[in-house]
Amino acid sequence: MTEQIPATTAELLREAARRVCDAAQFPPGTKLVGEEDKGGGLLAAVSLLSGLPYGIARWYPSGLEGQVQVDFDCEYTGGSLFLNGVEPGDNVYIVDDLISTGGTLVGLVSAVRKAGAEVSGILCVVEKRSYGGARRVFEATGISVQSLIEVDVSGEHSVVVGVNY
């Protein structure tokens, strides 16, 4: 959410996780999924506040049985995601801090489906609207991305252009 410049405060993380929980209204039995990089801290905070378990996609294999591998590409990197903790029949809600081009989310949806689970929703705290990521995710997966804050990063400074909470 801040690229850690300055460091993300506990208050910001707590508030973001609280707003995710309020906006998503997770149904009972939901399992959360996200990626381990920048969204991992948010995912853990949402898990703590909601009481829901989470599975995490890593950027390198663990070698554990049941791990699902999918390829992905995004604005700054590409490669493979390795998903742990998702079982066939799980009802999954994907949580991430930021959507830009949507490549990571397309990969996460693919991994969840490959694991035999169903994605019931995707929620991101911030959306870089001009990057078209939400449209890309919908076109590739049929799932709409809900975002809490929309920003324009095309100028010298980021500008909030939409608040959805």
Q: What is the pLDDT of residues 7-62, one digit of tens each?
A: 889 999 999 999 999 999 898 899 999 998 778 999 999 999 999 999 999 888 88
Tokens matching residue 44: 């853990």
For residues 125 and 147, the answer to whether their CB atoms sit within 8 Å is yes
Three-class SS state of 90? coil
Secondary structure letter of residue 72 according to DSSP: E
pLDDT of residue 112: 96
pLDDT of residue 3: 66
Tokens matching residue 147: 């975002």
Residue 6: pLDDT band with limits 50, 70, 90: confident
Rg of the chain, C-alpha, whole Å: 15
For residues 106 and 142, the answer to whether their CB atoms sit within 8 Å is no
Beta bridge partners of 72: 79
Residue type (1 letter), 102: G
Q: pTM for the full model?
A: 0.92
For residues 10 and 49, the answer to whether their CB atoms sit within 8 Å is no
Q: Position of tokens 């939901």? A: 30
In the predicted model, is pLDDT for residue 2 greater than 70?
A: no
Residue with the bigger pLDDT between 134 and 38: it is 134
Of 3, 89, 80, 101, give the one whose Cα is nearest residue 35. Answer: 80
pLDDT of residue 143: 98
d(CA 106, CA 139): 10
Secondary structure letter of residue 28 according to DSSP: T
